[in-house]
Amino acid sequence: MTQETGGFAALDLNPNIVAAVLATGYEEPSAIQQQSIPIILAGHDMIGQAQTGTGKTAAFALPILNKIDVSKREPQALILAPTRELALQVATAFETYAKQMPGVNVVAVYGGAPMGPQLRAIRNGAQIVVATPGRLCDHLRRDEKVLSTVQYLVLDEADEMLKLGFMDDLEVIFDAIPATRQTVLFSATLPSSIRSIAERHLREPKHVKIQSKTQTVTAIEQAHLMVHADQKIPAVLRLLEVEEFDALIAFVRTKQATLDLASALEAKGYKAAALNGDIAQNQRERVIDSLKDGRLDIVVATDVAARGLDVPRITHVFNVDMPYDPESYVHRIGRTGRAGRDGRALLLVTPRERRMLQVIERVTGQKVAEARLPNAQAVLDARIKKLTSSLAPLVAEAEATHGELFDRLTADLGCSPRALASALLRKATNGQALDLAAVEREQPLVPSFAPRGERTERGERPERGDRERRAPMPLAEGRVRCRTALGARDGIAAKNLLGAILNEGGLARDAIGRIQVRDSFSLVELPEDGLEKLLSKLKDTRVAGKQLKLRRYRED
């Protein structure tokens, strides 16, 4: 092991787990991880008192992964979380840390999603089950033996589970799993109800208590925007139209995302480059030097690739993908606002990431204000302002150097000075839309999120059914809405549908309107003229290996 890996390697974890942890950008274990991991590895029951944002997910995920027997295809670890959002977050963390452990399967079990696939995933050998108590009890009513092989139980945010009325469900779950299990309980507070659970269900637990430190980033203006995952690149492109930045770093989670976003930025004329773990050190140094001296204005990076990046001219940080933890967020946005300069940090938040936003606000002790994507008028005003700024230095001398040529061209073309000036402007702006109607047509869908629903009696939010019955957005004239049974749970994103329709249907890009991907289906706006012929062309089209089967959507 190198010196850099010493912190985690010293905890006696599987080297494959250590490698996966380092790949996320962690370098040293946090206080809760240093204290908890050895206790859990040793097989002791444990009570951990720690706030969200202290790194507690890794504190139990890493030792549990270390204990999993990959050769056994049966549930071995059960993690209980109070809400769907936390369950998904924890399941994602397990998958991230298990990336170099072939054969490890994780399933998230929560309300609002079909029960069948969840139960099948458990029966088919998912070793790690992350669940909300209410939905897990629903599964136990169908199959009381489904958890009979569980050896490790974690109650994450136990105090929140009790606040949401899950006490009875927890007792059902305790009875359904072997009494010989190892139990770990994490809670921000330890009221009498939590102590009572510990006395009844934990065996001589070790205690760990961590005081969370508030991290401040007061010098940086922060804002967040709610977007759908498949609208992130269009959202970034629109934000860049109105943000007045000198240099900018955009953070994403994956190497592929660095390439995708950098490519989209370059296509729009920005001086941008990707920075990820596959880039050689000498190339990385060239990218950073180019950002420092102005040959580049935007770098799209992963957390790991951006280590040590310190460029004073960075005025903006875009968190295009949510960071894994609040510490990473603070570290990211600290790359702007250097040397007394103003700094601005924008965070794109998908609906299921609202919880992490709240965690970031709690850990930093600051509210991250909500912003909206700029509308077409704001984009148009910004474009005209940039055009004016670029022309202003030229106006003073242009008439002296090019006045005679202008007069000759006007005469040769037989047009008015206004017509010639307009033609030259069109050429200079390279076809960029500079009237309101055209700008409105090219803008991506601005997502609108309804207020958060009330929790159900089991403490979980209304899920897919309620969300998918919301009223569709109004249609543009001359378009109709079509439906396909392919959705997010099929691994479909809007770009997949767009590519398939463009390739097979022979349409121009602007002929296709909004694409809305829901969990179990998707809606696509297509031109009404020639629709039946288009649908006939697309009848054998496959997306992600499945038939597209687009049909006109009846909304009555």
Cα distance between residue 253 and residue 19, in whole Å: 16
Residue 454 phi/psi, 5° resolution? -70, 150
- 386 & 365 share domain: no
Cα distance between residue 317 and residue 251, in whole Å: 8
In a domain, 51, yes or no: yes
In a domain, 449, yes or no: no
Cα distance between residue 385 and residue 242, in whole Å: 10
- The burial class, CB within 10 Å (0-12 / 13-18 / 19+), for 411 is exposed
116: its two tokens: 């069948």
In a domain, 451, yes or no: no
- The pLDDT of residue 444: 53
- The pLDDT of residue 454: 36
Q: Which helix (H) or strand (E) holds 187?
A: strand 182-187
Query: Quick count: other Cβ atoms within 10 Å of Cβ 516?
Result: 22
Amino acid (one-letter) located at 56: K
235: its two tokens: 């959202």
Residue 375 phi/psi, 5° resolution? -80, 180
Nearest to 353 by CA among 20, 92, 158, 106: 92
**E strand residue ranges, 77-151:** 77-80, 106-109, 128-131
Q: What angle do CA 226, 229, 235 make, to 5 degrees?
A: 60
In a domain, 452, yes or no: no
Reduced 3-state DSSP string for 537-552: HCCCCEECCEECCCEE
Cα distance between the two ends of the chain: 64
Domain end marker among 209, 239, 260: 209
Domain end marker among 209, 241, 272: 209
- 54 & 145 share domain: yes
Amino acid (one-letter) located at 434: L
Domain of 10: which CATH number? 3.40.50.300
Cα distance between residue 129 and residue 222, in whole Å: 36
- 296 & 313 share domain: yes
CA distances for 77 relative to 22, 23, 291, 336, angstroms: 23, 24, 46, 41
Q: What angle do CA 12, 18, 22 make, to 5 degrees?
A: 145
- The pLDDT of residue 185: 95
Domain of 505: which CATH number? 3.30.70.330
If you count them, how many residues does the chain have? 556
- 362 & 381 share domain: no
Helices (H), 301-375: 326-333, 354-364
In a domain, 479, yes or no: yes
CA torsion sign for 197, 203, 204, 205 is negative
In a domain, 55, yes or no: yes
- 381 & 405 share domain: yes
Q: Determine if residue 507 is left, alpha or beta; phi over 0 gives left, psi from -120 to 50 gives alpha, anything else beta.
A: beta
Residue that is written with structure tokens 């908890």 in the block: 36
Paired sense of beta strands 314-319 and 220-226, if any? unpaired
In a domain, 20, yes or no: yes
- 504 & 529 share domain: yes
- 425 & 542 share domain: no
Residue that is written with structure tokens 């169908």 in the block: 142
445: its two tokens: 């869908």
- 370 & 317 share domain: yes
- The burial class, CB within 10 Å (0-12 / 13-18 / 19+), for 149 is middle
430: its two tokens: 């390279």
- 124 & 32 share domain: yes
Cα distance between residue 56 and residue 30, in whole Å: 9
Q: Which helix (H) or strand (E) holds 26?
A: none
Q: Which helix (H) or strand (E) holds 10?
A: none
- 251 & 231 share domain: yes
Cα radius of gyration (the chain): 27
81: its two tokens: 């979380």
Is 351 in contact with 449 (CB distance < 8 Å)?
yes
Q: Give the domain range for residue 130.
A: 3-209
Is 98 in contact with 70 (CB distance < 8 Å)?
no
- The pLDDT of residue 514: 85
Number of domains in the chain: 4
Beta bridge partners of 1: none
- 103 & 19 share domain: yes
CA torsion sign for 168, 172, 178, 181 is negative
Query: Quick count: other Cβ atoms within 10 Å of Cβ 514?
Result: 17
Nearest to 81 by CA among 24, 142, 28, 154: 154
Residue 186 phi/psi, 5° resolution? -115, 135
In a domain, 466, yes or no: no
Cα distance between residue 467 and residue 448, in whole Å: 12
**Under DSSP, is residue 209 helix (H, G, I), strand (E, B) or coil?**
strand
Paired sense of beta strands 343-349 and 220-226, if any? parallel
Domain end marker among 359, 374, 389: 374
pLDDT per residue rounded down to tens, the chain (556 residues)? 333 345 888 898 999 999 998 887 777 888 889 999 999 999 999 999 987 667 889 999 999 999 999 999 999 999 999 888 788 889 989 999 999 999 999 999 988 788 888 888 888 889 999 999 999 998 998 888 889 999 999 999 898 888 778 888 999 999 999 999 999 999 888 888 888 899 999 999 999 988 755 555 667 899 999 998 888 998 999 899 888 899 999 999 888 899 999 999 998 889 999 998 788 878 888 998 899 999 999 999 988 788 767 788 899 999 999 987 787 888 888 888 765 567 899 999 988 888 889 888 888 888 899 988 888 788 788 788 877 777 777 877 777 788 888 888 889 889 998 888 888 888 877 767 677 776 666 665 444 444 343 333 333 333 333 333 344 456 677 888 888 988 887 778 888 888 888 878 888 777 888 888 887 788 899 988 888 889 888 888 888 778 888 988 875 4
- 501 & 531 share domain: yes
Cα distance between residue 482 and residue 507, in whole Å: 15
- The pLDDT of residue 285: 84
